[in-house]
Amino acid sequence: MRAEAMLTAEAATCDIDAVMEHYREFGYARLGRVCGDNALQAMCARTEDLMLGRVVYDGMFFQKDAPNRRYEDLVFGRGYEGPSLAYRKIEKLERDPLFSAWLRNALFERVCRRVYTTPAIHLYRAVIFSKAADGGSNLPWHQDAGNFWGLSEDPQIQIWTALDHAGEDAGCLEVIPRSHIWGLVSPLGGVVPRHRARELEAESKVVKLPARAGDAILIHNYLWHRSGHNETPNMRRAFTACYLSGTTRCLRTKKAPREFERVF
């Protein structure tokens, strides 16, 4: 499927001025329903194929949810553990032609070019976050940047696409508007320590972002975001791509530094 055939007709030409203004001010913004039905069905079916081992690519990352739904009890390093719909995270979706096409669509390119001025824009990661029917773990407040990411420049934009309906009862995204302006809570980045969330009165500032299948949401990497359990009888899958300026380098030294793929 070509990337352009995956976008809804309106999304291909929509004006993004107001969206970008909202993203800059609040750290997130809704792009609206931008993914067409055929593309959604295909990406949902492909997600199931990957989880059930019917489609396999080398080097993909898989992580299952903890059976007790506690994020703190997630087990790392096991990779693919056999056919199951209980995987919470799959990475390296750029290896799949369908997801690779989606993350390169012309609307996402227009968004990224408003954020980065470098001629080349690269991909940091392409990930599925999934919550099984009546399952999923409670993903705590976190920021997607910092030393933990090992980059010469912090990324500023990720675009999250709902592959299923993600209502409040399904573990929709939750954000703290304007928290991107606070910068990183710690140089390391990642999960926000509980005492910082208390000090900054996070609970009184939460905005929930229920989404329909096909909706896309821009997220600044410094924005505090989280998601809860899925209490519905349906899966809640989402796909997110994080983009980098073309000048961003990988700083890791233990292994050979990563080369980031140019997508725009």
**Which amino acid type is present at position 110?**
R
Q: Pick the binder of ligand AKG from 238, 241, 244, 263 (CB under 6 A).
A: 238
Among 62, 149, 160, 222, binds ligand AKG (CB under 6 A): 160
In one-letter notation, the amino acid at residue 255 is K
Bridge partners of 142?
191, 225
Task: In angstroms, give the least distance from the CB of 253 to ligand AKG.
Answer: 25
Find the shortest distance in angstroms from Cβ 174 to ligand AKG. Answer: 9
Strands (E), the chain: 28-33, 61-64, 87-91, 121-131, 139-143, 157-162, 173-175, 190-191, 207-209, 215-219, 225-227, 236-245, 261-262
Closest CA to 176 of 150, 141, 211, 130: 141
Q: Which of 240, 243, 248, 264 binds ligand AKG (CB under 6 A)?
A: 240
**Applying CB under 6 A, which of residues 129, 141, 149, 224 lies at the interface with ligand AKG?**
129
Whether residue 95 contacts residue 60, with contact meaning beta carbons closer than 8 Å, is answered with: yes
> Looking at beta carbons only, is 43 or 139 nearer to ligand AKG?
139
Binding residue for ligand AKG, selected from 46, 64, 125, 225, defined by CB under 6 A: 225
Tokens representing 163? 């592959």
Q: Looking at residue 54, what DSSP letter applies?
A: S
103 near ligand AKG (CB under 6 A):
no
Q: 121-131 and 236-245: which strand pairing?
A: antiparallel
Quick one: which of 105, 137, 156, 227 contacts ligand AKG (CB under 6 A)?
Answer: 227
Q: With contact defined as beta carbons under 8 Å apart, do 6 and 107 qualify?
A: no
Give whichever of 54 and 194 is closer to ligand AKG, judged by the CB atom.
194
Q: How many residues bind ligand AKG (CB under 6 A)?
A: 10
Q: Which residue has the tokens 């500023």?
A: 156
Tokens of 8: 């809804």
Query: Would you tell me which residues interact with ligand AKG (CB under 6 A)?
Result: 129, 139, 144, 158, 160, 173, 225, 227, 238, 240
